[in-house]
Structures are given as structure tokens and as C-alpha cells.
Structure 1
Amino acid sequence: MNQSDVIVVGGGIMGCSAAFFLRRRGLSVTLLERGLTGQQASGTNFGNVRRQGRYLHQLPLANRARDIWGRLPELIGEDCEFVASGHLRICYTPEQAAKLEAYANDARPYGLNLEMISSNALRARFPYLGRDAIAGCFAPIDGHANPRLTAPAFGRAAARAGARVEEGTEVLSIGKTGADFTVETREKGTFRAPIVLVTAGAWGNKLSSQFGESVPLAVHGPQMAVTEPLPYRLGPTFGVSTPHVKETVYFRQVKRGNVVYGGSTRGPASNETNRASVLPENILGQFEQMRRMIPGLARVNIIRTWSGVESYLPDDVPIMGPSATTPGLFYAFGFCGAGFQIGPGVGDVMAELIATGATTTPIEPYSIARFSGAAA
């Protein structure tokens, strides 16, 4: 019989980690994924494991996630290529330097210790930086990981812990009859549970709408690329603090030598066709900005580009927590292109909420009720 305590719909990093942590709390779990775990946004993003630059109200969640990242080998048996390389944000104007310093001061009470670095010290420490960089802000224990590995690793760990992980299983509808939800799938029939957690990313609104909770979810495609391998020289993950979208770039060098990069210039995507496109002008524009930050990368060859289907909400804040209309229904989707680092923390928090009815990490700003107007 397809009965469990919790059904998780969506096998990205949120869903797979939630299934894992639910099993650690003793609940029986069925995870339903239309394709393969980590195949969508969780596997096509940049791989930033950064707390720096997040909204202050999200730092407790990011801190919880960072603790999990540091314990991946003991928790799930794999490190997912997580490297605490540090995260450096540079800026080009005194105005942005002041904003970086203000953020560093504001983040300190939340346990995020950032180091401001002035122009001369910045170039002494990172001599390959270009002359346009006038200041930087350094987060020493942030870093990066491999997004292609992470969600599947959590999925395998959940399965080893006793979760039922069903890939290739498309959810058609969710209904509620009595105390149980009934989840109808195309390939494997009906699943039942008193609790459902929707972690369906760009497809979350299609399911929440079935319970009168439609949200203004938009989809876009990240613009990602990777270079040929180079001698390993770049330590931290790099980013730019700027009000100008065209100047925004982020990049990291992996131990194999390749430089992975992306930026805030997004491309078209569809949650109907499940496809996203790379626009060459975006990739080349990001490359120009990367070269501006590190001129030594000017003659590097780009060897691959890719995109994915990411979900965004108008206030740039995710949906996370209980349904405002239906007891036993929970959501964690719409992470606005910034869900990878907090993903394991989201899974842990949602497992705690489902198992105990409360969380030790605040998630009130993320209620779906802010769109429906209903009382949470």
C-alpha cells in the first residue's frame, strides 16, 4: 500500500534533504520526483554556499544550513565537493563600499563575521584583481559545492535511511479525503499520507493553487558557463556588489581548474515545456565583467554553457511553512535563485516543523499567507 506519514513532492535539494531529516526524526517518508533527483534548478545553479549578501532575516536559516554543509560527510557520507574557500564580494565605488561595510556591521549580531578589506590590502591579498576594485568584503567560511552532486546525495542518504524515493513519478493532483491527502501520479498510482510537503520549485504554484493558494510565481533561466581548466590559483568564490545588473557576476574555480561563472542577467524559461535558454549576449557580458575583476582571465576559452528553470517571487523571498488553508499541507518553494546554500537548512527546518509543530529557526517572513491574504 502506498501509505506513509509524509509525502514530499519534488526531489530537489529542499525535498531530498527534507526527506532525509524527516527520516532522522522517525517519520516514514515517500519522495515523489517527476524526473531525476536534482535534475532541475537544484542541479543547474552556480553552487554558491554563501551567507554574505542575504537578507538579515534569512541569516539564522543560512547559519543552520552552513552547519549542515560542514557535516555532510558524517551526515550523508559524501562531501558534495563542498569547499569552505571563503567568499569575496568586491565593489567599484565608494557608495557600494559603504553599503558593504554597513551590511557587515548589521550581520555581525546574526553570527556572520565579515572582514572589510581596503583597496591596497585587497590587492596585496589577491594580487590578480583588476584596478577597478576599490574594496572588498570577505566571508572566511562561506564557499561553494557541486550542485549536480548535492540533491542526489541527499536523496540516496534518505533512501538508505528508509525513505521511499520514487523517481520518474509525475504528480498530477493532490486532494484531501478525511485525514489523508491523496496524491495521484501518472506512473505509479495513488499515494496517501496525512501530511504533504510541496518542494516542487518552479512548479509549486500549480500544486498550491489546488488549495486556493495561488502565488505570483515567475520563472527565469540562470545563465551559466564554465571555462577550460587552468592552473589552480583562485581561492575564494567571487562576487560583485553593484546596483547595476549588467555588472553582476559571480565565479569560482574548482580544484580541477575550471572556472564556473554566472550572473544576474537571466534568460527565458518555461514551466510548461520545462526548458530554459542560454542567451549568448548574457554569457559574453558576464565574461566581460569577470575579466574586469580579474584581467588575467581575458583569454580563457568557454567550453560549456547551460541553464535551468528557476522560480522567483515579486518580493524576492521564498515560500516556506504551513499552508494557510489546509492543515497538514506544507510548502518550501520559490527560492528566487538563492536556494542552494540554504537548501539543507530548509530541509532540516521543514522536518522539524512537521515533526514538532514549531521551528527553532524563524521562518515567519516566508508564509504563503502574504499572497493569499489568509491568516496563517
Structure 2
Amino acid sequence: MNAPALQTPARRLKTDVAIIGGGIVGASAALALRQLGHRVVLLERDLCGSRSSGVNYGGVRRQGRLPVQLPLAQRAHPIWARLPELIGTDGEYRRSGHFKIARSESDMAALEAYADLSRDFDLGLQLLSADQVRAQCGPWLGGAAVGGSLCPEDGQANPRLVSPAFARAAARAGAQVLERHAVHEVVHDGALFHLRAGDGLQVQAPVLLNCAGAWAGALAAQFGEPVPLVSNHPAMAVTEPLPAFLPWSLGVEGGGIYCRQVPSGQLVLGGGQAEPVSADALHTRVAAPTLGTLMQQAIDLLPELRHAQLIRTWSGTEGNLPDRQPVLGPSATTPGLFHGFGFCGAGFQIGPAVGEVLAELVHSGRSSTPIEAFAITRFPSPAAVQTPLPGAHR
């Protein structure tokens, strides 16, 4: 991040809301809270947007989400359209369309069922037959497709631009955004949270937002709300520039490869089997066998990639929960604590809406968007213990 977000803080800060985690959720919450008049201190261990929020695929899609997530996705949809006025950049966001390929008749039946299931949310889905796919796509798509589902207003953006821009916008709005300030300890005295971070910095606040991504489970567990959060890292790659041939952001029914072509001609690819990794592993890389599998899947789907050169690969650390749903909402054990984590690799599009929801919960105690399905109480919660955060937060 660039100035004005970076600051040299006093050794003691008192604020209305402290936020742990400077990804797209924490940063957008900081911005929304400032717009509501709350004082905010955001603490980020590294650089804002440098973890999963900044290294993800960049898909901005609603199609394919479970119905309980669609209210959040619909709330986020217009936010993306006004990024320039909100955060000062369009983040290379464009509504290119998101096309989900069916590779079998059962896949196509699943896409048809989803179109019926999501009809009340007005996603504008268009079901395409094999002939329609060939007519629209020409030779670039391999013979695996028997049809598909197009969501014309879904799209893509550059996460390396969008996520840090939310933090900069929050700083311009008056939030104290402190990068390279790892949180070492959090204690609640019944009224205030006391955070020790960075080089002796102490922060006091009556409200704390847990937006620490794959590392958020440690904080939740400290306050008696353990969750089965596991970490893994996806395989990501980008090709050399190629002639334009892929008009949509592309996914596959049932999972697997996903890809998009940016205006420079490069293809951004992701997918394959995400590899498990310890959250303590701050640096990740794509293993060679995983990369080979990814590229074989990509070539099977897009023969145009047969002779393409990869110029960069990367990964990140994602937090996943077994039901593939995030934790979003108030703590059940500790007044003033709110959680927003566990987005299972699908938090980029809904992130700005999640930030607004967290700000609403702080400001008024309720959200205008239904979030009951994401309550942390769906997991067992033994009694809280007040202990320093483990190594993942150091």
C-alpha cells in the first residue's frame, strides 16, 4: 500500500472499532464504518490485500453460489459498478459475463436446476445448448462442452488493484490503517478489547472485527468459538499474451479449471486440487505435479493453450469450512466481537457487501441482508479461555 494508509502510530490508541485483517473484507468494513462516522483502527500483519484477497483468481461472479449467499452477492453487484467513485479505481472490473460449461448431460441438468433454484434472484441466466455454444464460441472451446449457462452481467477484476484500493480509500476517509502490525495478543475485560500489536502498540476498542482470513480461527477459538477452519492454497498461473479468443470468465460445472482472458491477451488460470497447507506457512508455491494437472485440464478445455507458455505461477492461503459457507455475524460468547472469515476461495465478489454488513451490525445491531445461515453458532462452542493468540498471529 502507498500513503496515506501507512502511518506511524502512537503507542496507545483508543478507537470505536478495531479490525484485524486488511483484506477486502476488513478494508471494506473500515471504509463503511468511516462513512457511518465510527473511528476505526485496522491492523494488518503484512500489506493490505497481500494475502488471498490480492492473489485470487479475480472472478466477480454470482452464478453458482448457493441460494443463501445470493442476497450478499446481489448486494455486492452494484458496489462493483461504482468502484471508481468508491475507491478511486475501477480495478480493471468489467462485466464480461461468466460462462459455466456442462461436460455431460448430468452437468447440464444441474445447470438447469440451478437456473430454476435461483430464478427469484434475477441473475439473468441464459442456458445454451451445444449448438448455441459452438455458434457463439467458435473453435476456441474444445469438444468437451455439451452446453452451458451464461450469466451476462457477472465478470472479472484485478484483485491486486481492488483489494489494496479499499484500504487506501478507508485511510483517506479517516481510518487508521496500520500495515506490518501483527497482532500478538487480544484480551477482553468485559467492556473493552485490548490488543497488543506491532512494536509495542496497544489498541483499546469496545468493538473488534475478526477479518483475519485463514488465521481467523485462532481468534474465534480464543473466545470460545472454535470452528473447523482448514487452510489450503490453490494453483494459479498466467500465460504469455495470446490473440483474443475468450470473451467470458469461464468455469466448469462440478469444479475444476477456471480461466479468464485479460485485455493484454494473457490468460489467468486456476483450479485443480487445492493443496492443504498450515496457516503458519506464510509463503506458498504451486507444486509441479499440481501445475501439470492444471495445464492438462486447461488444454483439454481450451485447445488454443496447447502451445502457450506460462510466465508466472503463484498461490495464496485460503480458509475453508466443511459446509463451504463463511462465518459472518456477531460472536455468541463475547459482546462487541464480530466475525467475517472463512469464504472458501469465493469471497472476492461478496467482500464489499460483507464489509457493509459488518458495519451495519456495529452501527445498528442488525443487517438489512439475511446472514443467519452464516452464524458461528452452527459449530460447537466450549467455554472461552483468555490466552494469547498462537503463532499464526505473531
Whether TM-score is above 0.5 comes out as yes
Question: Distance between the aligned counterparts of 1:182 and 1:45, measured in 2?
Answer: 32
Specify which of 222, 231, 234 is matched with residue 219 of structure 1: 231
Amino acid of the structure 1 residue aligned with 2:106: E
Residue 139 (structure 1) aligned to one of 151, 155, 165 = 151
TM-aligned CA deviation for residue 307 of structure 1:
0.7
Match of 2:54 among 43, 54, 57: 43
Which amino acid letter does the alignment assign opposite residue 172 of structure 1?
Answer: H
1:122 and 1:325 map into 2 onto residues whose CA distance is 52
Give the gaps of 5 or more residues in structure 1. none
Q: Deviations over 1:158-180 (max 9, x none)?
A: 00000000001010121112421
Q: Which amino acid counterpart does residue 116 of structure 1 have in structure 2?
A: L
Specify the alignment match of 2:339 in structure 1: 331
Post-superposition shift, 1:255? Answer: 0.8
Q: Distance in 2 between matches of 1:269 and 1:78?
A: 33
The answer as to whether partners of 2:225 and 2:380 remain within 8 angstroms in 1 is: yes
What TM-score do the two structures reach when normalised by structure 2? 0.92
CA contact (8 A) 2:42 2:178 kept: yes
1:283 corresponds to: 291
Per-residue CA distance 1:183-204 (angstroms, 9 max, x = gap): 1113242101110001000110
Q: Which amino acid aligns with 1:3?
A: K
Deviation at 1:280, TM superposition (A): 1.7
What residue is the counterpart of 2:4 in the other structure?
Answer: none
Q: Does 1:192 align with 2:200?
A: no
2:144 is paired with a residue of what secondary structure?
A: coil
Aligned residue number for residue 110 of structure 2: 99
The aligned residue for residue 33 of structure 1 is 44
- Name the structure 2 match of 1:308: 316
Retained in 1: the 8 A contact 2:224–2:381?
no
Please say if residues 91 and 241 of structure 1, whose CA atoms lie closer than 8 Å, have aligned partners that are also in contact: yes
Aligned-partner Cα distance in 1 for 2:337–2:310:
44
Aligned residues: 371
Q: How far apart are the structure 1 equivalents of 2:283 and 2:86?
A: 33
- 1:300 is displaced (CA, Å) by 0.5
Match of 1:113 among 114, 119, 124: 124
Q: Equivalents in 2 of 1:229, 1:77: separation in Å?
A: 28
Distance (Å, rounded) in 2 between the aligned partners of 1:71 and 1:284: 39
Deviating runs (4+, > 3 A) in structure 1? none
| Aligned: 1:163 with 2:169 | no
For the residue of structure 2 that corresponds to 1:266, the secondary structure is: strand
C-alpha displacement of 1:233: 2.6
Structure 1 residue 62: deviation in Å?
0.5
Query: Contact 2:225 / 2:381 at 8 angstroms: preserved in 1?
Result: no
- Is residue 2:77 matched to residue 1:69? no
Contact persistence 2:194–2:202 (CA under 8 A): yes
Q: What is the root-mean-square deviation of aligned Cα atoms in Å? A: 1.4
Unmatched 5+ stretches in structure 2: 1-11, 383-394
Q: Does 1:12 align with 2:23?
A: yes
CA deviation string 1:191-237 (max 9, x = no partner): 01110001000110111111111111100011000000112231110
**With structure 1 as the length reference, what TM-score do the two structures score?**
0.96
Shift of 1:65: 0.9
Identity across matched positions, percent:
49
| 2:242 maps to 1:230 | yes
In the alignment, which residue of structure 1 is the partner of 2:362? 354
